[in-house]
Amino acid sequence: MWLLLWFFAALAVTGDGLGSDGSKVYVVYMGTVPPRTSPDLLRQSQLRLVGTVLKRGQKAERVVVQQYKHAFSGFAARLSKDEAASLRRKPGVVSVFPDPVYQLHTTRSWEFLQETAVKIDSARRSTGGAKAAAAPPATTDTIIGLLDSGIWPESPSFDDAGFGPVPSRWKGTCMTGRDFNSSNCNKKLIGARYYDLGEVRGPAQSNSPRDQAGHGTHTSSTAAGNAVTGASYYGLAPGTAKGGSAASRVAMYRVCSEAGCAGSAILAGFDDAIADGVDVISVSLGASPYFRPDFSDDPIAIGSFHAVAKGVMVVCSAGNSGPEAATVVNAAPWILTVAATTIDRNFESDVVLGGNNSAVKGGAINFSNLDKSPKYPLITGEAAKSSSVSDSDSASHCEPGTLDTSKTKGKIVLCHHSDGDTSKVEKVDVLNSAGAVGCILVNKAEVAVATTYLDFPVTEVTSAAAAAIHKYIASTSQPVATITPTTTVTEYKPAPVVAYFSSRGPSSQTGNLLKPDVAAPGVNILASWIPTTSLPIGQKQASQFNLVSGTSMACPHVAGVAATVKSWNPTWSPAAIRSAIMTTGATQLNNDRAPMTTDSGSVATPYDYGAGQVHPTAALDPGLVYELGEDDYLQFLCNYGYNASTIKLITSLPSGFNCAANASKDLISNLNYPSITVTGLSKTGSRTVTRAVTNVGALEESTYTVTVSAPAGLDVKVTPSKLEFTKSVKKLAFQVNFSGKNMAGKSTLSGSVTWSDGKHMVRSPFVVTI
């Protein structure tokens, strides 16, 4: 169970597992599939191309590990450095790059989203604002595809009782593999594929769609799992577990193992998902912000570009490298990028101190069997320092090898924990093995994320709570305490809070584009899981559910919302769906109706949560949407700094296409995005951006007026201030001018532009950096 902490990492490396001959896997990308070219013809031509660089007697079939032949053309093959270089020079090859390895970004959440949204809607109605949309239809035939670690088909979340026939447009398959056959699919889980993972090796590297990590099962059930009553994690978080779009079908594309996700497999998953007929692709994985590839070498950016061009919505996790700024990944404008927030549920495990039996609140998941009375000796790590260790600070943090086990045996040990320390799990394991009876971790940053410790009594407290424990220890010669087993606390406040691990903007790639786009629950999320042998004492059967945290968990929440919007509006483009999700109902308030905060208590900004936390149903009727198409994204790439030759590394270009001579990153601010970002505004200067909105409301003739919320020191003017739509006028443009006044000492300013017709409120956040 503790291995789940591995999912919180967002590291990425380039696969360098060299073969005995020095070869490794390369991705050979060949752009869009030529018109009227069959997959079989494409497959054969790719094999012939590989054969031209191989030594005599080598067969192309033996070195090729993936072939892309539906939405785009290319392949992945195990090649030498010289062979890869030769392929780069071949006609029709647009790029060749080493196969990258990405990492996974690892029931109350839906109830909390709806309850919070209802409160916000109630407040809006009292001031004449938007009304909540009606409940979604009872049945839909939307299909959510997930690129992940596989699926556990026996989970009740994927039972197909009550589902009708598989949609006739579905072209996918249910691949057979180890411990998995076609009968594991049904009318709910309609497809499952797996891929060769190239250089990614690990215990879960198997030829099967079956999930051996748990991650893919968790994300799938969060996005589209059936409602399962009586769900819990060994009694914690009891209730009904369900997905955001429970009526949607599920298709799994296993591109990951516990060791990572191969870029070549990710591209294959995109290629197949597009051809299979999915409506939404959910991707809870990504590169490291510190080793991020450019768009032209990023399998997620390339694959999602082709998906969106084919009308398939792509939702990705923002990454788990927070709270540092500029760590957001999956930041291409054709992707809907999701940050993580908490919900109003907490897992409390308290420290009861001797003397007056005062309780200090803590949080973690443990099934402690300690006596409820505070009778266990309590010692700090510093006081338990080994005589052979000179560093008292390392001992206070209980770093392995710094403590005298004779001093910790039979005691509860108070340990500080900081970034850069040995992992919490390893510290706890060492203490447990040395005979300690429990551990209190002082862990301010991560206290909101309930780490699972099973039977060993561990809780985590804030620095303020630790001060009370230290004070008690200093007040007596024989301090004693106990740690209580975890209880579930609901209606916890404040919530939502931006999770400490959630990657933040601004994007280092796209400074003039606000990322992340939205936030969703990603902390302590209860969803389906694979069977495990790590059981609490007294339990004979593994829980079918688990509590997991990460932007991985936030991403499928939004994928579920997107599928619901698609089911109501089947002709809408991915851009229209994203616009609806971002502009209608995404809230910036918590359940105290105060501004949402970060884990540190500071007021959160759009760089933390984008447009805000999603509203599960308001996006069904947005009134207005910001549309974008493939041509807009091509112009974005021009302004990003690519020329036409480089853009061809991502997609084919229309005949005669060339980037404008005045292309610049400042012009990215003019991309018709649902949010607005302007960088480099001088303290006395001004900048004007253009946007256009399309009326998708029930009334063809409607009038919208604008309201601006701007911070002191920034003048924001919208022209025109009124938009009048008619039967013949569906789309109207407007300009937003930003100019500074009295901005001394300010660097980043945020606010919003909101259009309303009295029923709909279409809110676009903006961020201006000085």
DSSP string, 325-339: SS------TTSEEEE
The phi, psi pair for 559, rounded to 5°, reads -60, -40
DSSP string, 571-590: T--HHHHHHHHHHSS-B-B-
Question: What CA–CA distance (Å, rounded) separates 27 from 64?
Answer: 10
In the structure encoding, which two tokens stand for residue 148, read together?
């992940």
In the structure encoding, which two tokens stand for residue 229, read together?
């009553």
3-state secondary structure 633-652: HHHHHHHHCCCHHHHCCCCC
Residues 6+ apart with CB under 8 A from 464: none
Closest to 244 measured CA to CA, from 616, 566, 508: 616
* Residues with catalytic roles: 148, 215, 552
The phi, psi pair for 465, rounded to 5°, reads -65, -40
Beta pairing partners, 766: 676, 751
Beta pairing partners, 490: 345
In the structure encoding, which two tokens stand for residue 684, read together?
């006395």
Beta strands in 105-213 (DSSP E): 143-148, 189-194
Maximum distance among all Cα pairs of the chain, rounded to whole angstroms: 84
CB 156 within 8 A of CB 107: no
Question: What CA–CA distance (Å, rounded) separates 602 from 589?
Answer: 13
In Å, how far are 232, 368, 461, 765 from 484, measured between CA atoms?
Answer: 19, 6, 13, 44
Question: Strand 452-454 relative to strand 285-286: parallel, antiparallel, unpaired?
Answer: unpaired
R_g of the chain computed on alpha carbons: 27
Residues 6+ apart with CB under 8 A from 222: 109, 243, 244, 525, 527, 553, 556, 557, 560
Would residue 421 be called left, alpha or beta, if left means φ above 0 and alpha means ψ between -120 and 50 degrees? beta
Question: What CA–CA distance (Å, rounded) separates 313 from 71?
Answer: 14
Q: Work out the number of other CB atoms within 10 angstroms of the CB of residue 245.
A: 28
Question: What CA–CA distance (Å, rounded) separates 240 from 233?
Answer: 12
